[in-house]
């Protein structure tokens, strides 16, 4: 725990110090809201798809697309409208997968509005609405969103994950996997000619990404062009939308969840584990066989990173993008504030925590792909077969922290307190007394360290909240939600005391619930967490 705390402190200080760099670079290159679109729109187009094209599982353009001025004529064919023209100046195309499964229309509409406000949205963003076919309102939601944003992006599509595919379950992982297969089909011509400049970004339905995220991905891509085809980009997550209206235990749980990813993004980190939002080139996705959609891939962010790691023989490179993704804390349907709403929100957060901890199946996935006796005839990558042993050792440690530490720490804490309470020190062996004293010292230092980390987090939170607030004001997007943090406020002071309790409930208890359930089943019914609404939902009705 102390090692985690120190590593987290190092990561937070690094993120805080580098917070202004992407913002300064974006402003220096003239990428304020829509300022450079005039230079781009002359050489490209914004594609619109008619709602009638949604009858198939994959929507195609309703009419031939106009040719970009600087595109290679040979890439585009009127007979095959699935093909995408090459962007001008050989720029990257960002294929952004927005998964949806029982998400409300307001959440999706706001997410796309934020993306549409970016300066390069109409020239470089391909949006893929990854829908679930069995959801009753999926087609209507897709029609509404496509008709509203058809002219805002380079292209916008909707995919519908079919019902009843063998070995697949409904949820984010299967929807993302199905959409990714369609992205490959869309760009198959460029892939065959080894001229594909597509980076796939996976996000949550409620995620708000600043344009600086995509600019940083672009910068890292071209800065490390020799290894660009095997790079996976991950970013920290920031709960800055409705945290001021969230119960303290839920708020602490989400901060700890964000800390788990942030702690792997310190300078020189051998491997970073993505949480919720990540990007990778389409070549890497194809090399590893795309996304898995079986029940063991319910934690598709970590699972995809592990798959890339093993399928490439450990050659995948994880790079941290120091631009956080804005997220919502879970909410409640209870309209009246009070203890009932608090309990309902905590209950919803526990269900979300159970889904997160169900990803402990990834430890088994890693073991199956690393044990030499698992499949002798296969070309399975073994953890200890890599030239650089630091990376696999770091990966093993991170898996242990994610899937074992919460329960182990809680059990050790409870039983050490009980044992010392009923066993006087004079009856214990001196070595055991020194061990308990050392453990108490480590726990105390860890508690103090976490309080220091929360103070640094508050400053980093405010830096990016101000940046997002400014960007949303420039884009005239008012209904996005903004929650400030100040370390001396009562709400933040409560977190410094309550985070251990929150960690036990939403970490250790949920993890124990998940791993014991795995004795009977590896399937979990995917339930979408309730998201807050910052505007009148009637404005986004399906009527």
Helix (H, G, I), strand (E, B) or coil at 239: strand
Residues 434, 159: Cα–Cα separation, whole Å: 61
Pairing of strands 237-239, 325-327: parallel
Strands (DSSP E) found in 250-400: 278-281, 317-320, 325-327
Q: Where are the domains of the chain?
A: 91-370+398-532
Q: Which of 304, 307, 318 lies closest to 368, judged by CA?
A: 307
What predicted TM-score, i.e. pTM, was given to this entire model? 0.84
Question: Strand (E) positions, 323-438?
Answer: 325-327
Per-residue pLDDT of the chain in tens (543 residues, 90 and over written 9): 788 999 999 999 999 888 766 556 555 554 555 544 332 322 222 333 333 344 433 333 333 333 332 222 222 222 333 334 444 557 899 999 999 888 888 889 999 999 999 999 999 999 999 998 888 888 999 999 999 998 999 999 999 998 878 878 777 888 999 999 999 999 888 887 777 889 999 999 999 999 999 999 999 999 999 999 999 999 999 999 999 899 999 999 999 999 999 999 998 888 999 999 999 999 999 999 999 988 888 888 999 999 999 998 888 999 999 999 999 999 888 877 888 899 999 999 999 999 999 989 998 898 888 875 444 444 455 544 455 677 888 888 899 998 998 898 898 888 888 888 888 888 888 898 898 889 889 999 999 999 999 999 999 999 999 999 999 988 888 778 888 998 888 999 999 999 999 999 999 999 999 999 989 888 877 677 777 776 655 555 454
Nearest to 156 by CA among 197, 117, 199, 121: 121
Topology classification of domain 91-370+398-532: Spore Coat Polysaccharide Biosynthesis Protein SpsA; Chain A (3.90.550)
Provide CB contacts within 8 A for 91, sequence distance 6+. 123, 124, 197, 218
Long-range contact pairs involving 438-442 (C-beta distance under 8 Å, separation at least 24)? 439/412, 442/1, 442/2
């Amino acid at each position: 725990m102390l090692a985690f705390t120190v590593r987290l402190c190092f990561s937070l200080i690094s993120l805080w110090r580098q917070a202004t760099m992407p913002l300064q670079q974006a402003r220096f290159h003239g990428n304020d809201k829509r300022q450079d679109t005039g230079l781009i729109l002359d050489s490209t187009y914004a594609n619109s798809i008619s709602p009638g094209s949604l009858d198939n599982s994959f929507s195609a353009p309703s009419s031939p697309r106009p040719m970009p001025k600087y595109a290679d004529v040979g890439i585009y064919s009127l007979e095959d409208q699935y093909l995408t023209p090459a962007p001008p100046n050989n720029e990257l195309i960002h294929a952004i997968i927005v998964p949806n499964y029982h998400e409300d229309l307001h959440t999706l509409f706001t997410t796309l509005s934020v993306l549409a406000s970016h300066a390069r949205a109409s020239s470089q963003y391909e949006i893929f609405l990854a829908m679930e076919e069995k959801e009753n309102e999926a087609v209507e939601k897709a029609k509404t969103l496509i008709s509203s944003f058809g002219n805002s992006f380079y292209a916008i599509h909707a995919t519908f994950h079919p019902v009843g595919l063998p070995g697949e379950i409904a949820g984010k992982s299967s929807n993302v996997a199905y959409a990714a297969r369609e992205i490959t089909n869309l760009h198959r011509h460029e892939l065959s000619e080894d001229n594909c400049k597509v980076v796939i970004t996976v996000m949550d339905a409620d995620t708000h990404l600043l344009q600086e995220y995509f600019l940083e991905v672009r910068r890292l891509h071209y800065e490390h062009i020799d290894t660009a085809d095997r790079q996976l980009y991950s970013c920290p997550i920031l709960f800055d939308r409705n945290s001021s209206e969230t119960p303290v235990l839920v708020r602490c749980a989400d901060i700890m969840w964000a800390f788990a990813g942030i702690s792997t993004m310190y300078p020189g980190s051998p491997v970073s584990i993505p949480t919720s939002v990540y990007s990778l080139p389409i070549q890497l996705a194809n090399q590893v066989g795309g996304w898995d959609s079986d029940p063991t891939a319910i934690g598709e962010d970590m699972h995809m990173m592990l798959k890339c790691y093993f399928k490439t023989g450990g050659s995948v490179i994880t790079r941290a993008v120091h631009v956080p993704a804005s997220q919502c804390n879970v909410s409640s349907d209870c309209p009246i504030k009070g203890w009932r709403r608090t309990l309902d929100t905590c209950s919803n957060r526990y269900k979300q925590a159970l889904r997160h901890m169900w990803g402990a199946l990834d430890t088994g996935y890693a073991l199956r792909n690393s044990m030499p006796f698992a499949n002798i005839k296969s070309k399975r990558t073994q953890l200890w077969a890599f030239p650089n042993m630091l990376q696999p050792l770091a990966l093993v440690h991170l898996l242990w922290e994610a899937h074992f530490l919460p329960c182990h720490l809680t059990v050790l804490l409870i039983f050490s307190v009980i044992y010392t309470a009923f066993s006087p020190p004079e009856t214990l062996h001196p070595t055991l007394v020194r061990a308990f004293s050392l453990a108490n010292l480590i726990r105390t230092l860890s508690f103090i360290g976490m309080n220091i980390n929360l103070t640094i987090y508050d400053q980093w939170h405010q830096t990016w909240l101000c940046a997002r607030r400014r960007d949303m004001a420039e884009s005239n997007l008012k209904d996005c939600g903004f929650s400030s943090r100040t370390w001396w406020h009562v709400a933040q002071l409560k977190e410094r005391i309550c985070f251990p309790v929150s960690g036990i409930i939403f970490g250790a208890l949920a993890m124990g619930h998940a791993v014991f359930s795995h004795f009977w089943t590896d399937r979990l019914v995917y339930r979408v967490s309730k998201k807050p609404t910052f505007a009148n939902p009637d404005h986004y009705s399906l009527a």
